[in-house]
């Protein structure tokens, strides 16, 4: 089993990277999958407020490990695929728990980096940030750093800088996935 964990600040391109992996038929999960399942399990309506509430719940008081445990359950339910992409970890506690539960399987961390200004331009186009300023997005960045995201990025095994066009990013991501996960694909 080979697992690639995709991390990065909001608006860096993590979700695009995960979507490319899905299109390449790589088994792909996100920490958001766990959050959405918990919202459903609690009988809550899925909306931005409940998503934020449950995400904060998971990222407090050592519950970061719960995300890893639930992701491992999803992996096992899928028949333990040989190549896996997981997007969205925010703390090393969660990644370390994932490593422990999977007996230190081959886990690689890929950080996606974009400059704050480029991320801001991307974020302000998203419906939930419509009309919200740079200050609000900076506050979100500080929250992510507080959760431990900066440590994961600093400890990553590889990095993609996403400051160019979407087309160039897509090509770079696909090439990186092929290389890291040892995928043979016709060109």
Domains, the chain, ordered by start: 2-175 (3.40.50.300)
| Beta bridge pairs of residue 2 | 83, 106
Classify residue 107 by its DSSP letter. E
| Beta bridge pairs of residue 160 | 112
The answer to whether the CB of 16 falls within 8 A of the CB of 173 is yes
Cβ count within 10 A of residue 69: 14
The answer to whether the CB of 62 falls within 8 A of the CB of 93 is yes
Query: Could you give the strand order of the β-sheet that contains 106-113, starting from the edge strand earlier in sequence?
Result: 27-30, 83-87, 2-8, 106-113, 158-161
Q: What is the mean pLDDT of residues 170-176?
A: 96
pTM of the model: 0.90
The answer to whether the CB of 72 falls within 8 A of the CB of 102 is yes
Model confidence at 186: pLDDT above 60: no
Model confidence at 163: pLDDT above 70: yes
Whole-number Å distance between alpha carbons of 127 and 129: 5
Check residue 49 and give its pLDDT: 86
- The SS3 assignment for 91 reads coil
Determine which helix (DSSP H) or strand (DSSP E) holds 30, and give its type and residue range: strand 27-30
Q: Using CA of residue 162, residue 59, residue 79, residue 104, what is the dihedral sign?
A: positive
First-last CA distance in the chain: 25
Model confidence at 152: pLDDT above 60: yes
Q: Using CA of residue 29, residue 32, residue 36, residue 41, what is the dihedral sign?
A: positive
Whole-number Å distance between alpha carbons of 17 and 169: 9
Q: What is the mean pLDDT of residues 97-104?
A: 89
Whole-number Å distance between alpha carbons of 120 and 42: 33
Q: Which of 66-80, 82-96, 117-131, 146-160 has the lowest mean pLDDT?
A: 117-131
Q: What is the mean pLDDT of residues 124-146?
A: 76
């Amino acid at each position: 089993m080979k697992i690639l964990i995709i991390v990065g600040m909001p608006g860096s391109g993590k979700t695009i990277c995960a979507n490319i992996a899905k299109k390449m038929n790589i088994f792909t999960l996100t920490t958001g999958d766990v959050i959405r399942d918990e919202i459903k399990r609690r009988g809550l309506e899925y909306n931005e407020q409940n998503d934020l509430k449950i995400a904060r719940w998971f990222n407090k008081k050592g519950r970061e490990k719960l995300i890893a445990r639930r992701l491992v359950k999803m992996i096992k339910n899928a028949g333990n695929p040989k190549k896996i992409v997981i997007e969205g970890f925010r703390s090393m506690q969660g990644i370390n728990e994932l490593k422990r539960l999977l007996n230190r399987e081959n886990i690689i961390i890929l950080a996606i980096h974009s400059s704050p200004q480029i991320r801001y331009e991307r974020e302000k186009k998203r419906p939930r940030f419509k009309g919200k300023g740079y200050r609000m997005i900076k506050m979100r960045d500080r929250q992510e750093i507080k959760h431990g995201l900066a440590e994961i990025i600093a400890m990553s095994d590889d990095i993609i800088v996403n400051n160019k066009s979407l087309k160039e990013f897509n090509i770079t991501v696909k090439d990186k996935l092929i290389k890291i996960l040892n995928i043979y694909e016709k060109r």
